[in-house]
Structure 1
Amino acid sequence: MRLKHLLLAVTCVAVMATAAMASDMKPGEGVTVKPARATWNTGFFQEALVRRGLEELGYDVQTPKDLQNPIFYKSVALGDVDYWTNGWFPNHDSQTPPGFYEDAAKVGYVAKAGGLQGYLVSKREVEKYNIKSLEDFKRPEVKEAFDINGDGKADLTACPPGWGCENIITHHMKVYDLADHINPVKASYEAGMASALGTYKSGGPVFFYTWAPNWTIFKLKPGKDVMWINVPEIMPTEAQAPGKDRMTMSGIEGAVSDPIKLGFVVSDIQIVANKKFLAENPAAKKFMEEFNLPLIDINEQNTRMNQGEKSERDIAKHVDEWIAKNKDKWNSWLEAARKAAK
């Protein structure tokens, strides 16, 4: 009996030791990884989380290169960088080079249907003036309510020059015949939204363009503070045309109608990586496939950045806190990645 108990104890110790070794496996040891990162800081959090995961798997992950979209897609296809977490599809399809998917691939979903864009209006005014669409801003009483500078037009917090959304808003002003009714304010977006938030808190009306994930819809919550409104009809730009079917969506929280015609293509946020890198690093590939974030978590972190917590040290702290709150999920991703490497 003693021998039996001894053998059982030895077996238990061996199993525990094997489990401990498995949890400490570093399949990426000796491999240097070259990440990229988008130029918009609302995408920094997810990049930092994926980088942390790869580091825990033993990879030597370099500081990410901040790249404009077309430059990244060319660079990842060439293998000059290995991946980023900031792909928006189908929104970015037009920015990929010919033959892109021969050398690169989308991996998993950071946030499926997470790339939401559109126009929001304060709920108080939506209900007071029965606002359902941009078309309602042609009505004199609506224009007057949202006319901040006294020019007779409703003021819209819009996109600064050079942003992709600026071109689409300009397109909307033209095709819906809104140029004499809406004034898109194109100054600094963050300053414009800070002003809009102050106006709302003072009891005034707000009318703005935004996207998700973003701090704006954490501070001004759709359905409670603001409502998504329709465009009069779906009239895509040439670049939007391939994603026309994703410009009308159902199940959007805080929308004035269901479905709602957003006027912008709703994108999936996805990791994009070099195919050779993925083939040579099954642990990294599996971690990327497993990785996903609720939009509310991204919006909350983006809000903290907007309030001043935006240094690399701050973002690393946000990563620490998120992992601590989601330890089981995080460990399951790492475990799956380690198994894929065997």
Structure 2
Amino acid sequence: MTTAPITFAETVQPGDGVSVSIAQPNDDTGWIMSAVYAQLLEELGYDVAEPVTLDVPVAYVSVSQGDMDLYPDGWFPLHNTYVDQPGFAATPTGYVVEKGALQGYLVDKASAEKFDIKTLDDFKRPEVREAFDRNGDGLADMTACPPGWGCELMIQFHMDAFDLREAINPIKAGYSASMADTIAAFEQGQPILFYTWTPNWTVDALKPGEDVVWIQTPEVALPEEQAHLAEFATVESVEGCVAEPCQLGWPVNDIRPVANDAFLEANPAVKVLLEEASIPLDFIFAQNAAMRNGEDSAEDLKRQASEWIEANRQTIDGWLDAARSAVE
């Protein structure tokens, strides 16, 4: 009787007996990353706990202090403000998406055409401010980011750099709820101004070029620590932008996992996996759209991650084999 040989994958599981904790942001557009990385780690034998949802600054502190091991949704250079802190003990490792995450400001297409809105400077015009003032304070209302998010800090920088404090009121409530209100206003025919990023469900609900348009910043103005990235703040072929190329004013970001340094040192297989793995923007966008349409439970996210992994099994097995080889 012939016995089938035992494969390397069956005999070597670098994660046996090791628990992993994953932090995820309080914005659900990045939760699919947690689900994918959790399943990849499980295939390496790690015992992965359910992801813990935290405010973004808290997530970074938790990973640095070792309370959590991994944060898969780091945005760089946007999140440099967190990792550049003295004593920070976690490292961006690998890329979920390299040079693929856009950010910027959008206006409903009808208002952009009616008022000839091209840049944020146009909100200094009284008639534009009045049209976008939904709460009667004399300022144009803009759906922005909650306090402490990297984008909230950047928006505040832009408000000062372009002298917009007397023109625009950034709304800093919970992003998903604020965007739901913004979409409702759009559906009622009201002018809207908002910040968003990609991948994100907002660009499925409000399609650039059809419902809304990306507008430009008056110039590229970046915080000192991002000044060297100025060339990446003007992007070619941005669908639905008012100009070509499009001066978004935000450097194109990398999405990167951030892992605790001691955890990485103790688990070289995880380090290699993070360096090898990536997730296509198209999949993240499609998953975000499905989540927006009701497929948003923990079970849905696990299923969506599993289906993507199985559809790309050959590539992913290569990542896993490389990770296992790190502990040979």
SS at match of 1:108: coil
Cα shift at 1:49: 0.6
Q: What is the match of residue 7 of structure 1? A: none
Cα shift at 1:151: 5.1
In the alignment, the residues of structure 2 paired with residue 223 and residue 290 of structure 1 have an alpha-carbon distance, to the nearest angstrom, of 35
Whether 1:45 aligns to 2:32 is yes
In the alignment, the residues of structure 2 paired with residue 171 and residue 254 of structure 1 have an alpha-carbon distance, to the nearest angstrom, of 25
Q: What is the match of residue 145 of structure 2? A: 159
**Are the counterparts in 1 of residues 19 and 46 from structure 2 also a CA contact under 8 Å?**
yes
In the alignment, the residues of structure 2 paired with residue 253 and residue 167 of structure 1 have an alpha-carbon distance, to the nearest angstrom, of 26
Whether 1:281 aligns to 2:297 is no
Q: What is the match of residue 69 of structure 2? A: 82
- Paired residues for 1:251-290 under 5 Å: 251-290=237-276
In terms of Rg, which structure is larger?
1
Letter in 1 for 2:86: P
Change (3 A) 1:273 1:154: closer
**Are the counterparts in 2 of residues 36 and 67 from structure 1 also a CA contact under 8 Å?**
no
**Are the counterparts in 2 of residues 250 and 258 from structure 1 also a CA contact under 8 Å?**
yes
- Paired residues for 1:1-342 under 5 Å: 17-18=4-5, 21-40=7-26, 41-77=28-64, 79-96=66-83, 97-98=85-86, 100=88, 104-149=90-135, 152-237=138-223, 240-241=226-227, 243-342=229-328
In the alignment, the residues of structure 1 paired with residue 174 and residue 64 of structure 2 have an alpha-carbon distance, to the nearest angstrom, of 33
Cα shift at 1:219: 1.8
**Are the counterparts in 1 of residues 25 and 59 from structure 2 also a CA contact under 8 Å?**
no
**Are the counterparts in 1 of residues 20 and 46 from structure 2 also a CA contact under 8 Å?**
no
SS at match of 1:263: coil
**Are the counterparts in 2 of residues 36 and 83 from structure 1 also a CA contact under 8 Å?**
yes
SS at match of 2:107: strand
**Are the counterparts in 2 of residues 47 and 85 from structure 1 also a CA contact under 8 Å?**
yes
Considering only aligned residues, what root-mean-square deviation do their CA atoms show, in Å? 3.2
**Are the counterparts in 2 of residues 283 and 340 from structure 1 also a CA contact under 8 Å?**
yes
Cα shift at 1:99: 5.2
In the alignment, the residues of structure 1 paired with residue 69 and residue 177 of structure 2 have an alpha-carbon distance, to the nearest angstrom, of 34
Change (3 A) 1:112 1:299: same
**Are the counterparts in 1 of residues 132 and 191 from structure 2 also a CA contact under 8 Å?**
yes
SS at match of 2:95: strand
Change (3 A) 1:192 1:278: closer
**Are the counterparts in 2 of residues 91 and 243 from structure 1 also a CA contact under 8 Å?**
no
**Are the counterparts in 1 of residues 145 and 175 from structure 2 also a CA contact under 8 Å?**
yes
Q: What is the match of residue 3 of structure 1? A: none
In the alignment, the residues of structure 1 paired with residue 87 and residue 106 of structure 2 have an alpha-carbon distance, to the nearest angstrom, of 38
Cα shift at 1:291: 1.6
Letter in 2 for 1:50: Y
**Alpha-carbon displacement from aligned partner over 1:245-296 (angstroms, at most 9, x marks no partner):** 5433344333322333333343211112244543443432332222212223
**Are the counterparts in 2 of residues 106 and 271 from structure 1 also a CA contact under 8 Å?**
yes
In the alignment, the residues of structure 1 paired with residue 87 and residue 168 of structure 2 have an alpha-carbon distance, to the nearest angstrom, of 41
In the alignment, the residues of structure 2 paired with residue 280 and residue 179 of structure 1 have an alpha-carbon distance, to the nearest angstrom, of 48
Change (3 A) 1:25 1:254: farther
Change (3 A) 1:137 1:55: same
Q: What is the match of residue 5 of structure 1? A: none
- More moved, 318-327 vs 69-78: 69-78
Cα shift at 1:298: 1.8
Cα shift at 1:216: 0.8
**Are the counterparts in 2 of residues 27 and 341 from structure 1 also a CA contact under 8 Å?**
no
Q: Which runs of 5+ in 1 are unaligned?
A: 1-9
Change (3 A) 1:154 1:279: closer
- More moved, 107-116 vs 150-159: 150-159
Q: Tell me the TM-score normalised to structure 2 length.
A: 0.82
- More moved, 228-237 vs 148-157: 148-157
SS at match of 1:38: strand
**Are the counterparts in 1 of residues 57 and 149 from structure 2 also a CA contact under 8 Å?**
no
**Structure 1 stretches (4+) deviating beyond 6 angstroms?**
none
Cα shift at 1:51: 0.9
- More moved, 80-89 vs 232-241: 232-241
**Are the counterparts in 1 of residues 35 and 305 from structure 2 also a CA contact under 8 Å?**
yes
In the alignment, the residues of structure 1 paired with residue 286 and residue 70 of structure 2 have an alpha-carbon distance, to the nearest angstrom, of 25
Equivalent pairs counted in the alignment come to 326
**Are the counterparts in 2 of residues 159 and 187 from structure 1 also a CA contact under 8 Å?**
yes
**Are the counterparts in 2 of residues 218 and 296 from structure 1 also a CA contact under 8 Å?**
no
- What is the aligned-residue identity percentage? 46
Cα shift at 1:46: 0.4
